[in-house]
Amino acid sequence: LLQIDFEDVIAEPEGTHSFDGIWKASFTTFTVTKYWFYRLLSAILGIPMALIWGIYFAILSFLHIWAVVPCIRSYLIEIQCISRVYSICIHTFCDPLFEAIGKMFSNIRATVQKEI
């Protein structure tokens, strides 16, 4: 929620203040103006904005329920089959190759000598 107070907008630093009467009048003017202008805008634009947002979220919900989720689920079903075939190919061809290369290079020993 958004809540803006007078001190958030009109922030006089500590040690620098206007007259108390000016400060109180400014505070009252700000608070009353904010309060009534919000009510005025709510009365004028509240119902049209509620209608617009209602339509927007209805469309968003409809698309999510009837388009997005089914597409994602069908994609996951399709990709699961491809994933199994890919896994079988990797285990069949690549695993033996890399295991053989690993065994070939497993007996290599490197020593470093410092000559003085």
In a domain, 78, yes or no: yes
12-16, 28-32, 42-46, 68-72: the lowest-pLDDT one:
12-16
pLDDT at 1: 64
Mean local confidence (pLDDT), 20-24 = 80
Q: Answer yes or no: is 76 within a domain.
A: yes
Asked whether residue 84 is domain-assigned, the answer is: yes
Does 39 map to a domain? yes
User: What pTM value is reported for the model?
Assistant: 0.52
CB 17 within 8 A of CB 23: yes
**Residue 67: is its pLDDT beyond 70?**
yes
Q: How many domains does the chain have?
A: 1
Q: Which domain holds residue 45?
A: 6-10+20-107
- Residue 15 inside a domain? The answer is no
> Average pLDDT for residues 9-21, to the nearest whole number?
71
Q: Does 1 reside within a domain?
A: no
User: C-alpha angle with apex 4: 14 to 42, nearest 5 degrees?
Assistant: 155
